[in-house]
Each structure stands twice: as C-alpha cells, then as structure tokens.
Structure 1
C-alpha cells in the first residue's frame, strides 16, 4: 500500500505502532501509514477507502480483512482545527514526527528505500524500555490530556517504565483529563480494560489520580476497599485474555462497575424495593452517572444493564429462577459475573452451591 502511494508520486511511510511493534518483535495491532498525499488523493487511489474523523483526519483502507489507517503528514502548524479544515496541506516527516506523542511512536520506515528514520531518539528509548514524550511533557499533556492515559496503557502493554519527568507531569496535570470528550475517554478505557493488563492499568489510573474524571468510585473499590471483588474481577479478565478467551467490553465494564451497582441495589432493597425493581433502578442510576463522565455507548450500556439484570435471577436461586434463564441473551456473561461474586465470597455459599449443582446437570 505504501508502494502504491509512492508509485503515484507521493512519499509514504509506515509509522507509529506498526514500526515500534515490529522492532520489539511483537504482533502489531494496527498498521498506520503517513503520506504526502491528501485525503482526496488517498480516496482516489484506493477503492473502498473511507474517511474518518477524530482528532486528526484519517482514511481507512480495507485490505485482506484488515483496515489500514492512512493520514496526511501534519505540517508544523497543524492542530485538530487546522487539520479538520485544511486536509489538503501536507507537512514533512520531521514536522509530523514532532507532533506525535512518544518517541517510540515517531519512527518512520520507508519500504521503498528500506530505510528507517528516527527523529527523536525512539530507538534508544526502545532499547532502554522507556516511554518518553516528544518535547516537554507538560506541553504535550496540556495539548492533549489523553496522552496521559495512553502512557499508562503503553507502559503496561510493552513492559516499559514511564520517564520520570513524564510521571511528575502526569501527577501535576491529572485533572486535565476532565477536558477530554467522554466518547474519547470511553474508547481509551475500553482499550485498557481489554488489553490483558487491566488490573495494572486501573491501579495506575488510581495512583496518578487519573481515575477521578473517568471512574470516580474506582479508587474506593480497587485500592481502599476491604472487598477483593474489583481486583479479583480485573485479574480474572486479564487471565482469561491470556488464555485466548475473548472478553467483551460490556462484560468487563459490568464487572468493574458491579460494586457501585451492588451498593445502590442493596440500599434500595433496604428501603423496601423489590429485588428486580431495585436492580433495574440501580442499574439505570449507575449507568447514567457513569455515562456522563465516560460516555459509555448506548449499545454497551444496554448490554451492561442486561448482564446486571441476570443477577436478580441468580439471587433467588435456580429453582425459583426457572429453566428458561439459560435463554437470557446475556446468560453466559451474567453467570460469569455471578461466579466472580462467588469467588469474592459475596454470595451465600448455599446459593453458590445450588447454582453450581444446577449447571453440572
């Protein structure tokens, strides 16, 4: 694909995570290309290409069941506004590299000349296993606070340390996360929760006070709580992913937010609400409050609600719940959540044993 662009007279480079992961000998999650071609040029060259919005305008090109992201090289003055309104302006690789987040993501590989260009010492940082921002971290984080969250995810995914100056800057600027759109925050937190390193990522969010604008109750449930449920749930998710078991974002969020849901559910029942009405109201309240700061997508929120609803049936036991509970669209995810609750000793042992015996039949 890069050669197609080059044969058309444009410069083209493989960059970002694809180069980084190749050099680390790990599977690349995404393939990104940077080119001197404009958005219109790219779409004209590749049938089926689709323009996508976001902080910077990119073009998605389907090939062999994968979507390649192609972006025009950013000029020195580029920001989210100028890129949105001037997609015909291309910069140089050096200008584009200066605007990337981390040195290890600013490596440019030219497949035509088989040449790797390192503008900001990314190769040395790869060797030292250090995650370092390009330029002053204070300026980087003020420009895009999301980079602080990405630092946490990359550090855990790659097994790197975060440069000390960046750590200090994160601690100074954690509150800026509240300025990021809830939709972008949801996408990033979902990536962290399904990265296979959810437990470590969530603990670091709390340690650096990044959780406050995302998951306000997380510190209480993960670090300060006497209950082991949240830590157990996150570790269980990581273990499942390590075994190759696919975990949906809906289930992971349902487990992560369960302590909040349970507190609200219990409080309503103490005030005389029935089991199911109390759960439905608690689920609505928790999802609504969380969506305001994390922008949980409507479909995901519906799935979370459905997973939680199964817990009311599990609470009344297998005989009263009825055999058709197996037909519930989120039964498997609901039962997995119930098993986590059993492992955390949140469920009466007799009830847990009754469901285990029923499932073995």
Structure 2
C-alpha cells in the first residue's frame, strides 16, 4: 500500500506591483508573447518558478517557464512553433530560435483514476493529471519555486508562503520533507544546489531528513545524476555546492570513492586541491569562459584515483600499469552511480595519465607532450596540484617556460645537438618504423 499523501493547504496571498521588484523589461519578450497569446485565447497563463524567484532577488534568469490551464494539446494548437515532449511530465515547448519557453499545464495532487498519475515505492513516476492553480502550487517542490507572476495586473500570486521565504532567503519544501524526498530523491540535490546558487539557507525541517535519506540517491537514474552534477558544479557556484554536499552527507553517495578518499586524507591536501579547482571553474563561469565536464570530473574523481593508485602500487603493481588500472577502476565504479559518457571519461583519464609525464625532460618526450591535444588541460591540472603539494613547483615552472619558447629555443635549452633534429613541426608525420626482415621458418626454428 502506498503511503497516504499529505496535501498542504493553499492560501492565496497577492503581492501587488508596487510591493515587488519584478519588471516586464527583465522578462524574456518571447515569454511575454506566450503569456499574452494564452490570455487572448481565453486561457490563464503565469510566469512561474525559478524565473519569478530569481527576479525577486535581483537575479537574471536564463530560463522562463509558463504555467497555464491550457492542456499541452491546446498549447500546441496556439503555437505553430510548439512541440510536445515528455512521458512522465507532458510539456509543451514553444521554440523561438535558440530560446525555448516551457509551458506546463497545472497539475493536480490527486489521482483521477485515469492512469496518468503513477507512484512506485513512494516515488512519483508519472504525473499528467491536470488541476487548478492551487493544486499546481502545492505540488511544486520548494515554496520559493511556487510563485506566479500575472500579466493581468503585474502582481505575484503566492499560495504557500513562498514570497516571505524568498525575502528571508530560505529554501523550504512544500509539505512533509521526508515524503517529498522519497517521492523524488533528487530533490535533496536540488535543495543544496539552489541554496548554493541563491545564497539561501536550507530551512531546518527541510534539511533534517537529508543525511538520513541520502542513500536514496543511489537509486536515482544515473543519467539524471550526471545532469545534476553539471548543474551543481558548472553553473558558477561549485564551491558552495561542494560544501553543501559535504554538510548534508550527500557527497559520499554521489561520489562514493572520492568521499572515502577525502575522509582518509588526513592532511586535507586533496580537499584543498579540489576546492581550488572549483574556485577556478566558478571564476571561468563568471567570466563567460568555457568550462569542460571532462576537466570537472578529472578534478572530482582525482582523490579516488590517487587512492586507487596508491593501493595498486602497494600491491607491487608497476607504476604504469597501476595508473591505467586505477583510472579504469575509478571510472567503472563511478558509472554505478553516475552515467559519465565516454566523450568525457576518456579525456578525463588522459588528464590523469599525462601527469606522470611532466617530470620527464627528455627532448623528444617534451616535444611530444607539448603537441598532445590534451596538454593544456593536463598542464592546468598540474598547476592545480600545487594547492595540494608544492613538490610540483619545478615541473610547473619548466612547462610554463616551455610554452613560451619556440621549438628551436626549447630544443637548445634541453641540450639538443641540433635544432633541426627536434620535433619542430607538430603536424609532421612520425618517422617510419624500420620494417623487420622476415625470416624463413626454418631459420627461425634454428635460431630458437
């Protein structure tokens, strides 16, 4: 038997235009087009969720979502540039070039018996029973995400106390926190991520069950957890997200081997390096510079890799073999929790495996490493390792200087006999390997 669903009561509170800071000039023109067309067709339409929340605290939302009493099929009839998506949640996407305005029909809390609302082990796996705006408000996750901006009078409609929570900078779940987390364990990650993004505090009753229920995350879809990790760490608030995962006990579930390695690293060197890397990523996001999921996962799983490598070497495995086996082991184990695509896991492993080559000063090895397509990422990673240990200072200084020199200068500084003998052209094909002379079978037998 499914547990009884506790439905909180909705009580409308209208915040008039003069009492809030939202202005239409800060709202996407395409979102306004959708809202006005819904209104002109006789439907209710509201800007809803994160955009309203962010605008209230002076943010600049990138996504604008709309809630309406029109069904997805009715929305599609209104917009020629509309496509319907989703099975678990049927949604309408109205496409304006690169911008997509997501339009969701008000959802009900109760099951009408049609089969369009389905629970499995307390988790909501299908939710396409439509209802009123009051129903829609109380079924959303956090009070801060259950605010509706109305274009009729430019007011904000609040049914669950979300406006006061946003003003108090507080993340609070709607309804019973444990029940809501059991419905969808990823809500625990969302609580941490949104609190980190907005600088909010997770309300005490909302935070209390998370350490107890953290293990439920292991049952979430690995592909969904991969997307959540990208949102946590590549949106410009990675340091705060990491610290939030540590506080709530979610880190050892999301990144099990990294959590174990950090706990075992008494000096804290690996944690210092990880946080330094996340600070750099946050800076790049703030400066609109590109960020790489491969580099991010190389950073997040580096403590696990170091621990696996030390364990294999302690067993007498050769250094080179231990490195490859450690990289494969960590990647494979992490895939049990998070679906890390090969297009990211392979360059992640290259970044790790190139680290051992930075101490080699042989001329040909130096030239080859400089020409490696993953050199720059691996070098940046080496620089990050300085946060854990200054033993890499000489390597960092050498390779920093090497990047400023021409091939001839670098070859000369490495004691090359002649600059022309070096790998001066990165695009030159490798020299042909000398072909071994094939011996007759009889001669081969005799030689053995």
Matched, 1:209 2:253: no
The residue aligned with 2:93 is 60
Question: How far 1:196 moved relative to its partner?
Answer: 2.2
Cα 1:220/1:84, change in 2 over 3 Å: closer
Question: How far 1:314 moved relative to its partner?
Answer: 2.6
2:278 to 234, 238, 259: 234
CA contact (8 A) 2:106 2:136 kept: yes
The residue aligned with 1:119 is 159
The residue aligned with 1:81 is 118
The residue aligned with 2:318 is 273
Query: What SS does the aligned partner of 1:3 have?
Result: helix
Question: How far 1:42 moved relative to its partner?
Answer: 2.8
Query: What SS does the aligned partner of 1:37 have?
Result: coil
Mapped partners of 1:85, 1:26: distance in 2: 32
CA contact (8 A) 1:37 1:90 kept: no
Question: How far 1:32 moved relative to its partner?
Answer: 1.0
Question: How far 1:304 moved relative to its partner?
Answer: 1.9
CA contact (8 A) 2:196 2:244 kept: no
Cα 1:99/1:323, change in 2 over 3 Å: same
The residue aligned with 1:335 is 379
Cα 1:77/1:317, change in 2 over 3 Å: farther
Question: How far 1:336 moved relative to its partner?
Answer: 1.3
Q: Which has the higher helix share?
A: 1
Question: How far 1:343 moved relative to its partner?
Answer: 3.6
Matched, 1:37 2:98: no
The residue aligned with 1:290 is 334
CA contact (8 A) 1:186 1:296 kept: yes
CA contact (8 A) 2:262 2:303 kept: no
Cα 1:360/1:124, change in 2 over 3 Å: same
Matched, 1:261 2:301: no
Question: How far 1:358 moved relative to its partner?
Answer: 0.7
The residue aligned with 2:412 is none
CA contact (8 A) 2:87 2:126 kept: no
TM-score (norm 2): 0.73
CA contact (8 A) 1:318 1:355 kept: no
Question: How far 1:80 moved relative to its partner?
Answer: 6.0
Cα 1:71/1:143, change in 2 over 3 Å: same
Cα 1:348/1:157, change in 2 over 3 Å: closer
The residue aligned with 1:349 is 393
Of stretches 308-317 and 138-147 in structure 1, the one that deviates more from structure 2 is 308-317
The residue aligned with 1:16 is 49
The residue aligned with 2:16 is none
Question: How far 1:85 moved relative to its partner?
Answer: 6.9
The residue aligned with 2:3 is none
Give CA deviations for 1:294-324 in whole Å, capped at 9, x if unaligned: 2223332233233334324334347353434
Question: How far 1:359 moved relative to its partner?
Answer: 1.8
When the two chains are superposed, the root-mean-square deviation of aligned CA atoms in Å is: 2.6
Query: What SS does the aligned partner of 2:42 have?
Result: coil
Question: How far 1:55 moved relative to its partner?
Answer: 4.8
Of stretches 126-135 and 227-236 in structure 1, the one that deviates more from structure 2 is 227-236
Number of equivalences: 359
Give CA deviations for 1:260-310 in whole Å, capped at 9, x if unaligned: 2233334445634353x4433322211111011122233322332333343
CA contact (8 A) 1:14 1:33 kept: yes
Give CA deviations for 1:84-132 in whole Å, capped at 9, x if unaligned: 8784x53111111111111110001122443321011111111111111
CA contact (8 A) 2:188 2:210 kept: yes
Cα 1:132/1:311, change in 2 over 3 Å: same
CA contact (8 A) 1:318 1:358 kept: no
Mapped partners of 2:358, 2:102: distance in 1: 45
Mapped partners of 1:182, 1:346: distance in 2: 37
Of stretches 316-325 and 241-250 in structure 1, the one that deviates more from structure 2 is 316-325
Cα 1:331/1:40, change in 2 over 3 Å: farther
Question: How far 1:209 moved relative to its partner?
Answer: 1.4
Question: How far 1:348 moved relative to its partner?
Answer: 3.7
Give unpaired runs (5+ residues) of structure 1.
none
Q: Report matched runs for 1:159-238 at 5 Å.
A: 159-222=199-262, 225=265, 226=267, 227=269, 228-238=272-282
The residue aligned with 1:92 is 132
The residue aligned with 1:47 is 80
Larger CA Rg, structure 1 vs 2 = 2
TM-score (norm 1): 0.89
